[in-house]
Structures are given as C-alpha cells and as structure tokens.
Structure 1
Amino acid sequence: MEYKILVVDDDMDLCRLVKKYLGLEGYDVVVKHDGKSGLVESQINKYHLIILDVMLPKMNGFEVLAEIRKSSSVPVLMLTAKDSEVDKVSGLRIGADDYITKPFSNSEFIARVQSIIRRYMVLNFQSQSEESILTVGNLCIDVSRREVYKNNMLIELTAKEFDLLYFLASNKGKVFTKKQIYRAVWNDEYAFDDNNIMVHIRRLRKKIESTPENPAYILTVWGVGYKFGGNEK
C-alpha cells in the first residue's frame, strides 16, 4: 500500500529534500508552500499524514491545523522552530499528533514519520478485526469508524486522542505509567516527554468529561500514572 503524505512548508530547499527522502521510503508526497493552498489540498484529497510548518505565508500552521481539526482526524506532524516550547505546546493543544524541531536529521525525521503512520494504520487494522463497538459509561467508541459518541453526540477527536482514549478504555481499570502509555500510543521509546502525554490527557478530558477538573473517565493515579474509570452516569 502506498501512503500519501502532504507537506506544507514555504522552505523550497527543505521541501525538495523532504520529498526526496520520503520518496525513497516509498511514500507518495505532495508539497504546498503556503497555508491556504495546504488547507485546500488537505480538504480535497485524503492523506495518511500531514507535515505542517508553523511559520507559513497566508495562513500560519496553527490556523491551518485548527481548520483541519474541524473535519478531520488525519495525523499531523508539526515542524517547529528550534527549542520553541510555546510552538510545541500550542500545536499539541490545537490537535497536532507530534512535533519535530528544525533543523532535524534525516534519520530522526523518517523515524517519526514511520512511527506515526505505523501506529495509525495498526490501530485501524485492529479496529477492523476486533469488536467494533466499545461502550464504557456514557461513551460509545466505534473502533471501526474511529468515532466517539457521548450521550449519542459525536465528539471530535484527533487521531492521537482517539488512540489514547481507545488504549485506556480497552484496558479499563488497569494502571499505566507514562512510559507504558507512551510506548503503546506513540509506538516509540519513552524519552521523558511528560508534557506531550499531559497535554493530550488534558485535551481529552475537556472533550469527554462533564467536569474535567474532577474526571470520571481518565483518572490520575498519583505517583504512578493513569487509569480508565468509566464510572460517569
């Protein structure tokens, strides 16, 4: 299967290199150089991954991401400025699945891309072969459609938020450390990236909990990690 990747970046030289290296890995790559054209392309055609720069003409990466998340849960890898913690956190809060800072090595970049797509496709395959509906409390998780409903109302989740929710909900009551969650959901070795996990947990709670400050589903086990309760009535 040939995976399609959309790259949105105004750095022409970088785009040429990225397209070349991704092409050598067998990916079908489309490149756009400004935010508006990138957004339009993402809405017209289906992609397995969107690689999105933060600093873009016409629309910045955050604006593009926000629009994408209104209708799509496609995985998004953000390209951020070196050591820009603000960009990283902002992207994750809006709905990015991962980020990589410029400049980056080719090997690290390819590894990130492969990890995101592999995890996305593995969960899609699992959802097709396992029980199609998972019901916990007032939540209904349709794993085949990758959709989540609460009280019959659709909740818009990013790809990574869905992966995180499905992992915890399908292991109801089990306590997982941040390291275990990172390995299972991000399909990567844990690198003390607590902020990434915490941002996703916080975003997910805002979407599925009636009172995020007093969660009933995603529970914190102090000093250990998290578990899924599912006791909301």
Structure 2
Amino acid sequence: MERLKLDYNILVIDDDKELCALIKQSVTKENISAEHCYSGADGLILLEKNDYHLIVLDVMMPGMDGFQTMKKIRKQSSIPILMLTSKNDSMSKVHGLRSGADDYLTKPFDMEELIARIISLIRRYTRFNFVDNHSQPLTYKGLTIDFDSRSVITQNGTFELPRKEFDLLLFCAKNQGRILTKQQIYEEVWGESYVYDDSNIMAIISRLRKKIEPDSGTPFYIQTVKGIGYRFNKEV
C-alpha cells in the first residue's frame, strides 16, 4: 500500500484504550500522526484546540455515543469521519451515513483495511480543499468539472451547466463515495430548509445524467442509493 507523501494528523475517539493504541501505532507507519481520547466530550474539546485531517469515531461509547458526537461535529466541521461499530446490521450503518459519516467499519476489522480507508478519505478531503483554494478543474474517468466556466467536459460533449445543476454536481463530487441524503443535497444546493419535495432534486439529477452519463439509464457517476439518496461513484 502506497504511503502518503505528507504528514497528516488524525483523531481517534474510542473508549477501547488498546484499540486506540494499536491504531496510533499502525498509522504512524504510514506517516500519519494520531491523537486519541476515550469519550465524545473529550473529542469535542480536542477538536476546538487542534486541527485534524480525519476522525475515527466509535459508535458505542458510554455517555455521549458516536452518533451524538458526530451530530455536534457536523455543526461546525466537514472533516471526514470514519465510524467504527460493533453492530453488524444495516440500520446502524444507514443511520451513520445519514448522520454525516463518510465511511464505516464493523468491528472486528482488519487493520490494513482501516488504514486503506483512512488514507483514501484523507486524500479525497485534502484534494478538494486544494481545489477550493486554487479553482483547478476536477478530472475523473471521462469527466472534467471546470470551476471557472461552470461547465463539464464529457464524451457527450461540453456543457455549460445552469447554477443548480453545477452546484449539485459539485456537491456530490466533493463528497465522492459518501452517501448524501436528499435533505443534505436540498439544503446545500437550495440553501433553505428541506420541505420533503424531491421532485426538484430528481429533475436536476435527470438532466445532469443526460449530459454527463455514458448511459443515463445506467448511471456511472451519480448513483442512486435506494431509500436514502445519491452517491458520486468513488471508483472514478
């Protein structure tokens, strides 16, 4: 597995002290430094004092659990969050993703897989932070998103997108691989409270797919996650 070329710092919030120590030891070998704490409350205090590139957050903790902790984090930060859960049921995973998690692992897990996911999330997060500051085009397999012209270049041609189409596509791309609920998309793109009217979102995504997808009937970039929302393909 390729190591990161730069040093990054992560925060591990888990009441399992042995696991915290093991994660810290493992990520250090990948040029990633780690701090850890054993409660959500302590994690929030550290977040106010220090800058991190990613948070590893356990769901099952005494006092403030992982979901409550993540809710407070999401009020002030879009930092990537990788959740750890001992619950092997789909509802817990869906709840975590809907609440703002970027990824999750079910305990027990392979440490190599955890490291791979941490590195992937850090690369994605730092890439888009760089893009925001430098207005560089985003390039994927067969798709380029140009900030300056608010357009896309695809195998179907070049399209200058209306504002909401561009904003929706960019929001999904910036959260590549993360499942976004219709409420999250609506509140980000429309800038107002969600009113449970999905027709506007569905219409814009339908128009986008006709422009950017090789086959709009089988979406490659903007994928539907049934019963939840949409996800920009993490494989591109």
Residue 14 of structure 2 corresponds to 9
1:213 alignment partner, one of 198, 210, 214: 198
CA distance in 1, matches of 2:9, 2:162: 34
Q: Deviation string for 1:18-46 (max 9, x for gaps)?
A: 11001111111010101111112122221
Query: Matched residue of 1:218: which SS?
Result: helix
CA distance in 1, matches of 2:107, 2:95: 16
Q: Any runs of at least 4 consecutive aligned residues in structure 1 with deviations exceeding 6 A, and if so which? A: none
* Equivalent pair of 1:7/1:31 in contact (CA under 8 Å): yes
CA distance in 2, matches of 1:133, 1:92: 32
- Aligned partner of 1:33: which letter? Y
* Equivalent pair of 1:32/1:38 in contact (CA under 8 Å): yes
Residue 184 of structure 2 corresponds to 204
CA distance in 1, matches of 2:20, 2:170: 30
CA distance in 2, matches of 1:211, 1:132: 32
1:110 equivalent in alignment to 2:115: yes
Query: Matched residue of 2:101: which SS?
Result: coil
Q: Deviation string for 1:100-134 (max 9, x for gaps)?
A: 11111111111000110111112222332424695
Query: Matched residue of 1:204: which SS?
Result: helix
The unaligned stretches of length 5 or more in structure 2 are 1-5, 137-146, 151-160, 210-215, 223-236
Q: Deviation string for 1:181-213 (max 9, x for gaps)?
A: xxxx23xxxxxxxxx64xx15343342357641
Q: Deviation string for 1:151-192 (max 9, x for gaps)?
A: xxxxxxxxxx9652558xxxxxxxxxxxxxxxxx23xxxxxx
Residue 62 of structure 1 corresponds to 67
Q: Compared with structure 1, are the counterparts of its residues 129 and 39 closer, same or farther at alpha carbon in structure 2 (3 Å cutoff)?
A: same
Number of residue pairs the alignment of both structures matches: 182
Greater C-alpha Rg: 2
- CA-CA distance at 1:66 after TM superposition: 0.4
- CA-CA distance at 1:94 after TM superposition: 1.0
CA distance in 2, matches of 1:14, 1:163: 34
The unaligned stretches of length 5 or more in structure 1 are 142-147, 149-160, 168-184, 187-195, 228-233
CA distance in 1, matches of 2:35, 2:90: 28
1:137 alignment partner, one of 163, 174, 183: 163
* Equivalent pair of 2:83/2:105 in contact (CA under 8 Å): yes
* Equivalent pair of 1:123/1:163 in contact (CA under 8 Å): no
Query: Matched residue of 1:217: which SS?
Result: helix
Query: Matched residue of 2:120: which SS?
Result: helix
Residue 172 of structure 2 corresponds to 164
Residue 39 of structure 2 corresponds to 34
Query: Matched residue of 1:219: which SS?
Result: helix
- Aligned partner of 1:202: which letter? K
* Equivalent pair of 1:77/1:100 in contact (CA under 8 Å): yes
